[in-house]
Structure 1
Amino acid sequence: MTTATPDTIDTLLALTPERPAFATRHARDKVAVATQGCYNALFSPDLSGTLTQAERLWVASEIARESGTATLAAHYTGRLAGSTLPPALQTLLEQPGSTPADTRLQAIAQFTRTLATHPDRGDRAALLALPAAGLSVPDTVLLAQLIGFVTYQLRLVAGVAALDALGGGGEGAAAPAAADATPFVHPANLPAPGEPLRLNGYTSETLGWTSWLPVVDPATATPEQQAVLDLSHPKARSSDFYLLLVHQARVLSERSQAFNAIMYAPGGLSRAEREVASTAVSRANGCVYCASVHAQRFEQLARRNDVMAQLFADPDHAGTNARERAIVQAALALTRTPGSFAAQHLHPLRAAGLSDLEILDAVHASALFAWANRLMLNLGEAVFPQAN
């Protein structure tokens, strides 16, 4: 099965059905379809609001340029070729990295460039500068989703290109070594599974999250928004996160489908190992909220928290076995330097016994949290439980 509309990532990478990476990618076709759906939604000329299609394409090209992904930057600037653009936007295309004189475009450019490579440097003031410059709340949410999506997309492009360069044959990779017969002994220096793990400002306890922008009232949400909230999460109607993102219901719908397809697809990389990749990215990006959620999920699935403690303490040396270490290192490389990510970053995964599909799942989870972290870090803040 392949996507019904031309697939941007397949086209950019010249992936054709006879290539092993094409077959692997479309073994996760729900992810490919949802990714393309996000692309189509975000760049639709029919989206309401003041953030024009040309501005959205420029934002995407700027993120790719700042991240060192020339192929994707060229794709987005190419889509603008031949268009009659406002002078300020034309200047930005001709002078990459310049500061626009227009206050509105200046706020958009600053927010975009900060989040492209340093999501932990955004704050409430940076976000509120957008409404102050004339963007509505739905426009601001759209910009944040657009930035998050492109940071995900460019890492997916890099990861799939690396998998393609790695070559086929991973389905015959050696299976991981059988578990040692000695029962797992929980490290004495760590809290028992089920008890909060707290290290370096990170935790596995349940945190809250509050939006810095007005959220949709679920009692007055439109039928479309109600349907998307149902799709997104069982507790979406009581979550500031989903009630904020549903300002852009179509985009949230596509994102939710991509998230679910990546994190919950059967087979391939284990659910617990996907949580390892997700937590590694969240730790690297400084997202305390996402790290808490996915450390907790790992612990629930694996019934241990040793690798989470390692990630909280020192992500560069985390992993209790070869598979975990390879997953963490690949996730960190894709997070920090997507522009130079290559097959060499996948060799340890192959050597640790991961199949091509498992490697793709690791890439998907790692890329996804480039998006998730940017939303959580830059649209609101984590709320820690009050001490008793």
Structure 2
Amino acid sequence: MLPEEASGRLKEIYDDIIEKRGKLADVHKIQSLRPESIIKHMDLYLEIMFSKSELSRSERELMAVVVSVNNGCEYCILHHSEALNHYWKDHDRIELFVSDFGNAALNEREKLLCDFAKKLTCSPGQFNNDSSVNKLKEKGLNDSAILDATLVVSYFNFVNRVVLALGVETNDVERQGYKF
């Protein structure tokens, strides 16, 4: 439901999100039949992506893009590459990263976080025997940072599936104008 059509509790929720984030994303509009789920979704998003963490905001957006690319979720790729570019300020680097993160100019920690995100997204069943967690620890990430990375990856796998299942689409206007 569009914000101008909303009333009652849904309008309150929409207004609150617009105040916090600058605008209302289509991923939230698609949940209008369950207004309280929008609140829970937004709370989870803000906690995972904006709370204090050993991971920087750009590292979290980096993993969001990797998950979304591997799931083929164009909506989240566009939204979160836009967010990542808020930190990188380099559209060419973003384009290369989206097309092939393995060849993008990343530091070792970023590469390990991207590998972690890809492996947990593409092969969750084999992850228990994977060395990705140990590699992150060897690079200096503590248990809290590894938990945060796992939460980011898991959250975006969830959101990608909601977006893909319900056919949420994006465009240049819709994906811009958010508070990062």
Same fold (TM over 0.5): yes
RMSD of Structure 2 on Structure 1 (CA): 2.5
Q: 5 Å matches for 1:122-271?
A: 216-233=1-18, 234-236=22-24, 239-271=25-57
State which of 48, 62, 67 in structure 2 corresponds to 1:281.
67
C-alpha contact 2:30 2:168 (8 A) present in aligned 1 = no
What letter matches 1:227 in structure 2? Answer: E
State the match for 2:178 in structure 1: none
- The answer to whether residue 118 in structure 2 is matched with residue 336 in structure 1 is no
Aligned CA distance change for structure 1 residues 223 and 351 (closer, same or farther; 3 Å): same
State the match for 2:167 in structure 1: 380
What letter matches 2:143 in structure 1? Answer: D
What is the Cα deviation at residue 311 of structure 1?
3.2
In 2, the alpha carbon distance for the partners of 1:374 and 1:289 equals 11
State the match for 1:350 in structure 2: 137
Aligned CA distance change for structure 1 residues 368 and 319 (closer, same or farther; 3 Å): farther
What is the Cα deviation at residue 260 of structure 1?
0.6
- The TM-score normalised by the length of structure 2 is 0.80
Give the unaligned 5+ runs of structure 2: 174-180
Q: 5 Å matches for 1:41-56?
A: none
What is the Cα deviation at residue 255 of structure 1?
1.0
State the match for 2:146 in structure 1: 359
1:89-117 alpha-carbon deviations (Å, 9 max, x no partner): xxxxxxxxxxxxxxxxxxxxxxxxxxxxx
What is the Cα deviation at residue 318 of structure 1?
5.2
Aligned CA distance change for structure 1 residues 377 and 324 (closer, same or farther; 3 Å): same
State the match for 1:300 in structure 2: 86
In 1, the alpha carbon distance for the partners of 2:139 and 2:95 equals 22
- The answer to whether residue 103 in structure 2 is matched with residue 326 in structure 1 is no
C-alpha contact 2:27 2:168 (8 A) present in aligned 1 = no
Aligned CA distance change for structure 1 residues 350 and 381 (closer, same or farther; 3 Å): same
What is the Cα deviation at residue 375 of structure 1?
2.2
What is the Cα deviation at residue 220 of structure 1?
4.7
Moved more, 221-230 or 261-270: 221-230
* Larger CA Rg, structure 1 vs 2: 1
What is the Cα deviation at residue 273 of structure 1?
0.4
State the match for 1:311 in structure 2: 97
**Deviating 4+ runs (over 6 angstroms):** none
What is the Cα deviation at residue 384 of structure 1?
4.4
Aligned CA distance change for structure 1 residues 375 and 346 (closer, same or farther; 3 Å): same
In 2, the alpha carbon distance for the partners of 1:302 and 1:317 equals 16
More relative contact order in 1 or in 2 (CA 8 Å, sep 6+)? 2
In 1, the alpha carbon distance for the partners of 2:124 and 2:64 equals 16
Q: Percent identity?
A: 28
What is the Cα deviation at residue 304 of structure 1?
3.8
Point out the structure with the larger helix share.
Answer: 2
